[in-house]
Structure 1
Amino acid sequence: MTSILLTVLGIVIFFVGLLVSIAWHELGHLSTAKLFGVRVPQYMVGFGPTLWSKKKGDTEYGIKAIPLGGYIRMIGMFPPGKDGRIEARSTSPWRGMIEDARSAAYEELQPGDETRLFYTRKPWKRVIVMFAGPFMNLILAVALFLSVFMFVGINKSTTTVDSVVPCVVSQSDNRACTAADKPSPAKAAGLQKGDRIVAFDGQPIADWATLSDRIRATKGAATLTVERDGEQKVLNATLTTNKVLKKDANGDPVKDEYVEAGYLGFGPASATIPLTFTESVDHMGVIVQSGVDSLLALPSKIPALWNAAFLGEERQADSPMGVVGAARVGGEILGLGLPMENTVAMMLFLVAGFNLSLFLFNMLPLLPLDGGHIAGALWESLRRNVAKVFRRPDPGPFDVAKLMPVAYVVAGLFICFTVLVLVADVVNPVRIS
């Protein structure tokens, strides 16, 4: 019963973090729109029926029933048609989409709003308004990630011995030792579980990455200075070569790729170690790059996601995950029974990852995403400047509404993908335990 309650509490905490993230995103749009004099009739967190709202000044602030998004409504998102009219004027389905979008942008138009329309603002101001929302998510993600890295830390291998490998066996063989195998250099040297290696060949060692590199670069005799039971001992080892996992640029082992390197033969213990500010920033850069790579790889993961959702195949650990899946992970985190600081760190990490995903996803230059409006404003600025250089008439504002048919197609694809992820998250969720 306690485990169930903790799981439910974890889901609730994640959704609170989700609502805060959405509200924070929309606050970026709202504050910059008001800064540039655009009238904003609505600021809403969630979709569907309104649960609570209050009007203050020009804006109605509220919370809706479905906590899966949010929005602000700005007057005049799109310019009027060439004839100056904003109502629907065509029976063509594609044209109707354009005119519907244009009409919606002028809902609640009041006397005096002619000077408070979004499309009348200079392109750079519109870029700021649309970028401010995703940027708020990026700020929150960076703040949460850095807080976790610097005040709690990350799980890292240390120079403390967790286990001693009894014999020399290639890591690619993945088999037990036999009587014919030679003892590992670590075992032959007398290395024991719990020893902390503080120097290698007389040179001080502060971290596992340095020690690992020194071992891989060495063949033959070497000395190990270890701390054991409060005393330092010097062990003599004769390193051999072995087939071991290759390291990537970040120093992490690459799955199923092997190289010949120096070999000692022990497994390092791991611990949660706080990072310095510089290390935290570097680690943050790795996470952002990983997020970009994951976003670009999203289409290639759809077949495996489909198979996991409908054919019962195993759900991959790096499979795309939606709000429901993330909420379930949040519930699992609280149910693991970890120390409080680790539990809090993992929940913050989950919310930070969600905010980073919101930033990257919204920066795609596609309508109806924020990045689509940013691209439209940049294109308008470019063509107006080109016209000025060649002394041509000002082409006027770029009519983003003309791209609404494409926006509906993109939105349809996003909805289909969201439904697919939702089904997979329900019937075959990603699990961390």
Structure 2
Amino acid sequence: MLAYIIGVVLFALGICISVALHEAGHMVTAKAFGMKVRRYFVGFGPTVFSFRRGETEYGLKWIPLGGFCDIAGMTALDEVTEEESPRAMWRFKTWKRTVVMMAGSVTHFILGFVVLYLMAVTMGLPNIAAASEPRQPVIASTSCARAATTSAQLNDTACPPGAPAPAKAAGMLPGDKILSVGGKPTPAWDTVLQIVQNSGGPTPITVQRGDRTLNLVVDIPRVQRLTSDGQVREVGMMGASTQIPPAYLHYNGATAIGATFSFTGTMFSETAQRLVQFPERIPAVISAIFGGERDPNTPVSVVGASRIGGEAVEQGLWEIFFFLLASLNFFIGVFNLLPLLPLDGGHIAVVWYERVRDWLRGLRGKAAGGPVDYTKLSAVTMVLVVIGGGITLLTVTADIVNPIRLQ
């Protein structure tokens, strides 16, 4: 239980650090361009402490759920003093404002990349091919065909005296690729297992050995086995196994760079896919709140992610802990760039709308228009805030009453 609590706290702390660095990204780039940053705080609520360095106040607040960076004149509606006015953010060039607003998401991407790189050189990166591609029907070793009706017996690889070794007796060798069993093609190892388990007695098996094709006959016995659904059934067994691909791939300091970039690209693609599927998964979240089975692919809140992180630490699965932390950083980074207010992506969309609008006005010989009036967008912004708050409430509730758990 203590390990679980430590895991939850560590994961929540990781999220807080990520969000704090997100805001630091805004602050650093704004200062670099000469904008005035009034305040940079980690957390919300009452102030624990603060100090001023230069023109910026830095501090920590009691509720460590995020933070904020107060840049003078982020929009033309923001009140600025006479001294701040020349350095108001909305007065700066479009590309500079864009960089400042993108800096938060870019920080998340950098954090995610760093976490994945450190995983690559230590515990390894998840082997995506092993999860997505079927195992090839290539023999790695031969053994005996024995009964196993309990989990302990399944894990015991020793062969009892007199147990038959059908595949070995038929002349099957490691490296043989099984082309067919009983005349049925076997493109994958799962197909081999399915056919063999339904077979019994002398069964023709065609294998490829180097550049030769051999026709073997394997006398498949029927034995009692504990199957994946927890039931004991009589199945055919030939006493052969294939190589199980590693769940994680390890790299050195140099090769990890390319591998991490490649894996990051895959994660961006999966993140975009999750965002597209996000709305259609909300009904499943509602169903889970009222007792339905929780789909592991449904969205989770910070509460749910922290609980999974806690379970990962409790079970010693640190690779899942860090992978989840990297995934969350990528998701937050991409989500925050959606062209919706009040997200950073919404502000970027407004900035570029102003740019394109003024360019079109210039083509018609007109002067540039003024800054966008954010009051006209307040209704849409409020609707999106309410929707976002509602989704957050749903996911938090589901993560409390019916959480996703590690198997």
Aligned residue among 26, 51, 56 for 1:54: 51
2-structure distance, mates of 1:49, 1:187: 73
Say whether the 8 Å CA contact 1:43–1:60 is kept in structure 2: yes
* Structure 1 residue 283: Cα displacement: 2.6
TM-score by length of 1: 0.69
CA distance in 2, matches of 1:376, 1:239: 72
Is the partner of 1:319 in helix, strand or coil?
coil
Aligned to 1:318: 297
Contact 1:188 1:237 in 2 (8 A): no
Residues 15-26 of structure 1 mapped to structure 2, 5 A cutoff:
15-26=12-23
Change (3 A) 1:68 1:267: farther
Match of 2:391 in 1: 417
State the superposition RMSD in angstroms: 3.5
Q: Deviations over 1:360-382 (max 9, x none)?
A: 11011000000000001111111
- Aligned position for 1:397: 371
Query: How far did residue 279 of structure 1 move?
Result: 3.9
Equivalent position of 2:323 in the other structure: 349
Report the counterpart of residue 98 of structure 2 in structure 1.
Answer: 127
In structure 2, what residue type is equivalent to 1:134?
S
8 Å Cα contact 1:162-1:269 kept in structure 2: no
| 1:303 equivalent in structure 2 | 283
Aligned amino acid, residue 269 of structure 1: I
Say if 2:27 is the partner of 1:30: yes
CA distance 1:189–1:289, shift in 2 (3 Å)? farther
- Letter of the aligned partner of 2:88 in structure 1? L
Give the unaligned 5+ runs of structure 1: 80-101, 167-183, 202-209, 226-233, 241-263
Contact 1:186 1:266 (C-alpha < 8 Å) held by counterparts: no
Answer whether contact 2:141 2:240 (CA < 8 A) is retained: no
| Aligned residues of 2:46 and 2:62 also touching (Cα < 8 A) | yes
Structure 1: how far apart are the matches of 2:74 and 2:335?
21
2:313 is equivalent to residue 334 of structure 1: yes
Contact 1:365-1:372 at 8 Å conserved across structures:
yes
Q: Are the counterparts in 2 of residues 45 and 63 from structure 1 also a CA contact under 8 Å?
A: yes
Q: Distance in 2 between matches of 1:154 and 1:186?
A: 35
Question: In the aligned structure 2, how far is the partner of 1:356 from the partner of 1:125?
Answer: 23
Partner of 2:250: 274
- Letter in structure 2 aligned against 1:324: V
Figure out how many residues of one structure are paired with residues of the other and give that number. 335
Residue number in structure 2 paired with 1:377: 351
Looking at structure 2, the residues matched to 395 and 164 of structure 1 have their Cα atoms a distance apart, in angstroms, of 79
Distance 1:223 1:163, change over 3 A: closer
2:26 touches 2:101 (CA, 8 Å); kept in 1?
A: yes
Q: CA deviation at 1:165?
A: 11
Structure 2 gaps, min length 5: 146-164, 179-186, 193-204, 219-238
Question: How far off is 1:42 after superposition?
Answer: 1.2
The Cα shift of 1:185 comes to 10
Aligned residue in 2 for 1:115: 86
The answer to whether residue 38 in structure 2 is matched with residue 41 in structure 1 is yes
Q: Flag the 1:123–1:52 CA change in 2: closer, same or farther, 3 A.
A: same
1:300 deviation in Å? 0.2
Q: Structure 1's 220 and 367: CA in aligned 2 closer, same or farther, altered over 3 A?
A: same
The alpha carbon displacement at 1:65 in A equals 2.0
Q: Alignment identity in percent?
A: 33
Q: CA deviation at 1:285?
A: 1.8
Residues 165 and 317 (structure 1 numbering): CA distance in 2 closer, same or farther, change over 3 Å?
farther
**Structure 1 position 112, deviation (Å):** 1.2
**2:296 aligned partner, one-letter code:** A
Q: 1:297 is paired with a residue of what secondary structure?
A: helix
Q: Secondary structure at the match of 1:391?
A: coil
Matched, 1:141 2:112: yes
